[in-house]
Amino acid sequence: MYAGLAFILAFDFQNYKKSNNITFPFVLLCVIFPALIGGIIEILQPLLFIPRSASWLDLLFNIIGVLLGWICIILFRKVRL
């Protein structure tokens, strides 16, 4: 899920800016933001959804998913150029 989110954000941001440069806003939007959202969801899970609990492993896999999405967009950009 997070790999798809990161990929879609990066793809859309790249098409919106019409640039292939990797800038800080690009990294912020496409890598840090989805990882941060995953962390917030993990923290809020035990508070909002009683049968659920927070898990460091879930957070780790969320971040791995974001990084996989980032790798996919880099490979996609190379193939597309």
pLDDT, tens digit (0-9, with 9 covering 90-100), for 19-63:
666 777 778 878 888 999 999 998 998 888 888 888 899 999 999
Position 12 pLDDT exceeds 90: no
Confidence tier at 65 by pLDDT (50, 70, 90) = very high
What is residue 19's predicted lDDT score, i.e. its pLDDT?
67
Nearest to 70 by CA among 18, 35, 38, 19: 35
Under 8 Å between Cβ of 47 and 26: no
State which residues form the domain around 70: 2-80
Its pTM stands at 0.78
User: What amino acid is encoded at 64 in this protein?
Assistant: I
Our count of domains for the chain comes to 1
Which residues 6+ apart lie within 8 Å of 70 measured at CB? 6, 10, 30, 31
